[in-house]
Structure 1
Amino acid sequence: MYVRNLFFKLLFVGFLIISCSEKKSKVHELDLNKVPIFIPNLLANFDSIEDLYFSHLAYKSIATTSNHLVLADRQNKFVVIVDDKGVLINKIREGRGPGEILDVYEMTRTLDNTIYLTDNGNKKILIYDEDLRFIKEFKPKLFEGTSIVNVFPGSENKFIFELTSFDFLKNKDKQSEKIFVQYNLEDEKYGKEIRIKDRPYARTYMDGRLVGAAQVPYSNTSLTSYNPENQSLFVYETSKSEILELSSDFDTLNTIRINLPVQKLSDSEVDSLREGESGEQWKTMSSYLPEFKSEAERFFYNNNRLWVQSNLRGDYQKWFVLNMKGRIIKIALLPKDGMVTHVSDENIGVRINDVEFAVYSNQMHELEK
């Protein structure tokens, strides 16, 4: 293990890493050579649960404190809870009745292992216990033509809803944004709202008519992660290089300023993007591509640590592990083309592709002893 870690440390030597502000006014080197690197071990991978085969795994999973995993398949319309080897414990069935689901995209776990599922198909929020036994559900009224993306529980039946709107597809003057709004379950009323920039879309018009739209890869984005200990929400705008922790009342509990490395978008990356776009769409997309890639792509909070996926090139997907002061304390190397779907004390969930899920060990607690 020492030799392997040393090898990956040497990869960083002599490699210029650039860190810069939103306006690129402060450019300087960020030395990562002294940051310890670890490679999580593969514990299990599977493409089915008994006779349930994956078709399109959701982009989020949950690990409970009993080391069980909650996974959703959007196309085959099921949610399951399994052990960390992939053995089935319980399943939520497809349907429109109480406790049934159609399209679960996001999920959230509280400190007591209560699980909240956002069902876009039924437009409702479902609540389950840690064994995926149904507790109750509620169906909030629509908020100004938006759709609920995720739900973050607060105290006393208060929530923060993360919403999305596609008004920008109808109005050229609008841009994509994330919307956060307070919701009180007791009186079923919405409260204050916050709107922030989200990753932009390249929109293609012909004869004044919208004919295509796609998110701009590597551009700045806004990321969120739930803190179950504080019942709060971390909001990370990559363009600002800071993470805000908000209460369900939208009070700012913490501001964490961070300094992460960024890279210029390379010619090979541009060529790869060009291959995936049609001629007209590429003309639009190419004009939106950033000079510098966003400093982060995905983001998770776990046990007083902030896990941030970097856009740095390499043979592995680099994850910076930060303390609550924003300092990089570890670097985790994970499969290059996978998508991390959860980080827990014991393991890390990785969506390898649409139909394959993998579980990796999280050695952070051992490395910090």
Structure 2
Amino acid sequence: MIGDAPQCVFPVCPRSVIPVTAPPLSPPPISTPRAHRLTPQMRSVIDRMHRARRPPLETLSVQEARAAYELGAGVLEIPKPALPRVEPLRIPARDGHALPARLYAPHAEGGALPVLLYLHGGGFTVGSIDTHDTLCRELARRAGCMVVSLGYRLAPEHRFPAAVEDTWDALAWLAAEGRGIGADPSRIAVGGDSAGGTLAAVAALQARDAGLPLALQLLIYPGCAAHQDTPSHALYAHGFVLEEPAITWFFSHYVTHAQRDDWRFAPLHAPDVDGVAPAWVGLAECDPLVDEGIAYADRLRAAGVAVDLEIYRGVTHEFIKMGRAIPEARTAHGHAAAALRAAFGLPGPLDEETSDATR
């Protein structure tokens, strides 16, 4: 299935952007007992990443890391779905900055559509609307809703809490002005992957506090804890796509050590989560972040929040964007779309790969 795929995935670094003095290469392919947890397809992707001899992310400059991620983000994506309406937007931030965004709609005409505000992943430092274009198209297509993907400002140029503030400003704008773009402001969800999942979880808490009802928070392997001290951070520290040195590199650009305890960085440590929007939480089993994602889902459930938790076995961080190689990605697309349809009161999901549950 991936025989013709390029050699780099995440964090990718095509040779055109590797520094002249190349840093040490990543460790050799994993051969510890942990590797048996991976599906054959996931193991094949990781082996190809190692054969590509990419330098570790944390050895690159921010500009090099961004360029590499942009170039490699679509390597293993499903074919880009065609939609009848894809438009650029500009959303005003509190400081007057115009935030770039992109609107995706599965219908060019008709009534107002429910809308998902989507926040891309990338450790608050890399990633963009473009790196998550295919995923947002697929969610719009399969969920039958509008998706607005936000280009929030990145660190280190814009450190914490800039991304949090940009996210909230965009969500508040959709609630106030969404009708002008064909969105139904009474049916809004917020979602994202990785760092974007963190931002979505935080925005859901802010929406509760502001009295803004949300239909759903869609959290794809979100970061939720203040520190990298869970068992999964130790178990999957190296060789499983997202590595501990890279996490440290991301966070060093975004937050100070003291700011890590702020719930707007670590929603698991929010004073309370009562009354927050229902959640769909999709996690990768072989991911340093899996334990904190489970802990956040458990905390929501303990507070009486409806939670649908899916753990996709044998796959790693970033799998959601590897649908050409990883079947679990396509399954997760279907699960996420079904959750959105249910939350928005839309008819049942498309008759695609949504029945092969991986709980």
TM-score by length of 2: 0.32
Which protein is bigger by CA-based radius of gyration?
Answer: 1
Higher relative contact order (CA 8 A, sep 6+): 2
